[in-house]
Structure 1
Amino acid sequence: MSSETCKDFDRAMVFLGDYGRFQIQIMVLLSLTAIPCGYMGVLAVFVADTPAHRCRTWLNSTLRDPHGVDSFHGTGPDSCYRYKVDTNRSEPGEPSNGTDRCVDGWLFSTERYTIVSEWELVCENAWKVPFSTSMFFVGVLFGSLVGGQLSDRFGRKRVLFFSIALQSVTTLIQATSVNWVMFCALNCLRGVGHVSTYISSLVLGSEMLCESARITYSLLGQCLAFSIGYALLPLFAYFIRGWRLLLVACAIPGLLFIPTWRVIPESPRWLLQRGRVKEADMVMRQAAKMNRIQASEIMFSPGEGSELLQKPSEDKQMYTFMDLISTANLRNITGLGVFIWLTIIMVFYGLSLNTSNLKGNIYLNCLISAATDTVANVSTWLLINRVPRPALLFFTLMFSGITLLVVKIVPGDMNTTFQVLVLVGKLGVSVAYSFTFVFFTELYPTVVRNTGLGILSTAGCIGTIVCPYVIYIGIYSKILPYIIFGSVSIIAAILSLLLPDTRNCKIPDLISETKPIQCYCTPKKCPCLQPSKQQAAKSDATAPSVDI
């Protein structure tokens, strides 16, 4: 296959077809890695849930309700205070006037055993609950920052399997936590493995598939598997009421995936970009063999890797974060992507983690929330090739934002209407969440794709670190978290209209192939439509000379 007939990697892969045995195997195996990611990010819903609790008093031995929690008789008006008891009275148990702090600790409902009930993280220590959740997302932040860079340097496959092992082993060790500090430290480390697993798996599969298969893999593979993992969490938690055993059960599926190392190949795009042409040739030949297709005698010539993925002006072997701001197009896409990802991921995880605060059964609420994500993924798959990418992102975010703001006018006694609006609002942001991974994977070129997605994921992690505290505001104002989530969703929807449409376009490989953002102004006054100095010089050099 000569460089004249093969000008980019997408054309080089055409002979493999779209949905051969090789592509299906890649989609299935890599999608399975997203199942643990689906529940790892929202484990706090059950592991850090606050059960019903009452002050511990000297009456505990005689006054208990069927759930093992003190009767209101002899305790205070809320879970942080108790009535003062006059021990000099002839009839014990009669409260005197005034209240007192829970100096003897608390008794918790035995319906669920969480870190809150084990380490009494209530009242003065209640801040430790959202803090422990934020520590997980601090780990996600760090993993996003370094995971993409490591993946671009050492390979998608190596980082993927290292991240899977890190996530699973850390979760097992976390189940043995002896105190809250140890739990938070391991929560942070678990977050590093969580995000690196998801992004590396998404990029690895996307780079080995053509456009139609890539969209199917991202939405019906990765995102749907993520939703399935999310739906498994309430099922696990329903039968496993102790948080330690729940962590062990959640760690095992990841460990079962490690033996697939021999089956999943490295990304041939990345191998070519690194100049490892023989290894890329071997991957393509194995794919052709699995699809029962006769490969040409020479898949890639020794110098074709650079011709496919690298031009003389882009001859450096290492790309860094600075390359994301090296051109106006990449700067614009990265700047818009940072705010859009921060908003989408903050709202998505904020509404997901808040399911425990909705009225009704916590297990059913979580299952419905997961089912909402499944509907969102299927809807995105049906719409993604029928609607321009920026328009789809705009309408889903605008729909979510308006719905969450409407919650403000719902009367306080209409709990069912309130829950329906929240879940419908989550449907909109769930579509945006699953779609944005596909969209920005297509926007970034191969040489900085993982680094770019890592930066955007890092921005999203800032939102997830903040969202537990936004939810915590709900203690004082039930509506305020939804006003915040709805407002930022509308702003992100408006900004998304500036992004270029990648529908029916080949995935870019070089920085110079990055698309410009859309400008709603006249061409003469729009800076993003003006040619760069390099492009202008190239045009002058290639322009035909005219003799006078």
Structure 2
Amino acid sequence: MISASWQAVWVGEWRTFMAWSAVPLLLVTLFYFLVQESAQWLVTRHDIDGAVLRLRRVAHFNRRVVSEEDFEQFRVHCKGQESTSSHHSMQRQSKLMDALKTPRLRLRMINVLLVFTIITLCYNTVSRNVEGLGLSPFIMFTLFALTLPPSGLFQAQAQKSMGRKFTAVSSMVATGLMTAACGILLTFWKQPSPVLLVALILTSRFGISVCTGATMQISAELVPTCVRSGILAVAHVSGAAFSFVSPFILHLDTYFRAASSIIICLLLFASAWICLLMPETRNKKLPMSLAEGEQFGKGERMFDFLRRPKKEDEADLSAETHQKLVPE
């Protein structure tokens, strides 16, 4: 992405550039051979042998010694979970339409869909906003791409220290305010300093990258394993579909310079509000089945993620986090 705009200059013709830029996507096919399948997902599909095989590979890669007794206990535990429910019931839980029949989980999936769509739309709109900044659009695209590595590192550290929900909500609010400030500055400051203007724009770009990463993280953790791929696929398609609105949002700047910035700010505030309605996922056992997804976060209040856990809560959490996957 850092070099993409300059590759376009080098190629010199848009059809050739489209074909050229599609070549790196072929590398994604290597993921099938390099990335292990989710063991949790395989368990929900009753492929316990496949889950054990992946766990063995992960243990070998991480240079961890796992005894055969632990793997056998894992098999017994998974088979015991299957025996508690009928096979027909387990199969029905793995379908996306069945998730829509659960009231709390259905509402959470709608919230995930809304947040994912809004953030994708805002991300594409901010990324395309390179006009009227006093610098070449090619330079701006390169500067935008340079914000991605630090934003990813910042997001990872913030989620580890403060939690997923706090990172998502705070980044959305801060990015919304910064984006609106940039638009208002361009409206009333007829000859703004290019350095200051670019710095504000890059800060907004940094923020929207953090918002996007945080949204992807919390969305994946809130959705049960058995239907995660289906729901996230719908969210990605919805976000891509609504992104067609972004050029029209940017076109509003021809009538009022701060229009697109204010709209993005309002959208980010709306997504932050929706995130407040969803539970925190840090240091919690994530749901695998629809039943677990229905109960996940039950009783958690909107601002509980701001409360620091007491020492006894941290001790219980540490014990729960480090417990084995199967009972002794």
TM-score category, normalised to shorter length: 0.7 to 0.9
* 1:69-84 pair list within 5 angstroms: none
**Which one of the candidate residues 511, 516, 523 is aligned to 2:297?**
516
Q: Are 2:147 and 2:202, in contact at CA under 8 Å, matched by a contact in 1? A: yes
How far off is 1:425 after superposition?
Answer: 2.1
- For 2:192, the equivalent position in structure 1 comes to 414
**Which one of the candidate residues 200, 206, 209 is aligned to 1:430?**
209
- For 2:52, the equivalent position in structure 1 comes to 281
**Which one of the candidate residues 296, 312, 329 is aligned to 2:85?**
312
Separation in 2 of the partners of 1:303 and 1:315?
A: 17
Q: Are 2:93 and 2:99, in contact at CA under 8 Å, matched by a contact in 1? A: no
Separation in 2 of the partners of 1:234 and 1:493?
A: 32
Higher RCO (C-alpha 8 Å, min separation 6): 2
Are residues 310 and 470 of structure 1, via their aligned partners in 2, closer, same or farther at CA, if it must alter by over 3 Å?
A: farther
Q: Are 1:273 and 1:310, in contact at CA under 8 Å, matched by a contact in 2? A: no
* 1:292-371 pair list within 5 angstroms: 292-297=63-68, 299-300=71-72, 304-307=77-80, 312=85, 314-316=89-91, 319-355=94-130, 358-371=133-146
The question of 1:233 aligning with 2:4 is answered yes
Q: Are 1:274 and 1:317, in contact at CA under 8 Å, matched by a contact in 2? A: no
Separation in 2 of the partners of 1:379 and 1:502?
A: 18
Are residues 250 and 516 of structure 1, via their aligned partners in 2, closer, same or farther at CA, if it must alter by over 3 Å?
A: same
Q: Are 1:323 and 1:448, in contact at CA under 8 Å, matched by a contact in 2? A: no
Q: Are 2:44 and 2:94, in contact at CA under 8 Å, matched by a contact in 1? A: no
Separation in 2 of the partners of 1:234 and 1:240?
A: 10
How far off is 1:485 after superposition?
Answer: 0.8
- For 1:441, the equivalent position in structure 2 comes to 220
Give 1:386's aligned amino acid. S
Q: Which runs of 5+ in 2 are unaligned?
A: 304-328
Q: Which has a greater percent of helix?
A: 2
Are residues 289 and 308 of structure 1, via their aligned partners in 2, closer, same or farther at CA, if it must alter by over 3 Å?
A: farther
Q: Which runs of 5+ in 1 are unaligned?
A: 1-229, 522-548
Q: Are 1:272 and 1:306, in contact at CA under 8 Å, matched by a contact in 2? A: no
Separation in 2 of the partners of 1:503 and 1:239?
A: 45
- For 1:246, the equivalent position in structure 2 comes to 17
Q: Per-residue CA shift, 1:216-257, capped at 9, x if unaligned? A: xxxxxxxxxxxxxx2232242243332233223222223345
Separation in 2 of the partners of 1:310 and 1:496?
A: 36
Q: Are 1:356 and 1:365, in contact at CA under 8 Å, matched by a contact in 2? A: no
Separation in 2 of the partners of 1:264 and 1:434?
A: 20
Separation in 1 of the partners of 2:79 and 2:8?
A: 51
SS at match of 2:206: helix
- Look at both structures and tell me which one has the larger radius of gyration over its CA atoms: 1
**292-301 or 474-483, which deviates more:** 292-301
Separation in 2 of the partners of 1:448 and 1:260?
A: 21
- For 1:69, the equivalent position in structure 2 comes to none
SS at match of 1:501: coil
Separation in 1 of the partners of 2:183 and 2:83?
A: 53
Separation in 1 of the partners of 2:231 and 2:53?
A: 28
Separation in 1 of the partners of 2:9 and 2:148?
A: 20
Separation in 1 of the partners of 2:12 and 2:65?
A: 55
Q: Are 2:121 and 2:239, in contact at CA under 8 Å, matched by a contact in 1? A: yes
Q: TM-score, normalised by structure 1?
A: 0.48
Are residues 465 and 296 of structure 1, via their aligned partners in 2, closer, same or farther at CA, if it must alter by over 3 Å?
A: same
- Aligned CA RMSD, in angstroms, stands at 2.8
Separation in 2 of the partners of 1:365 and 1:252?
A: 24
Are residues 317 and 286 of structure 1, via their aligned partners in 2, closer, same or farther at CA, if it must alter by over 3 Å?
A: farther
- For 2:323, the equivalent position in structure 1 comes to none
How far off is 1:291 after superposition?
Answer: 4.1
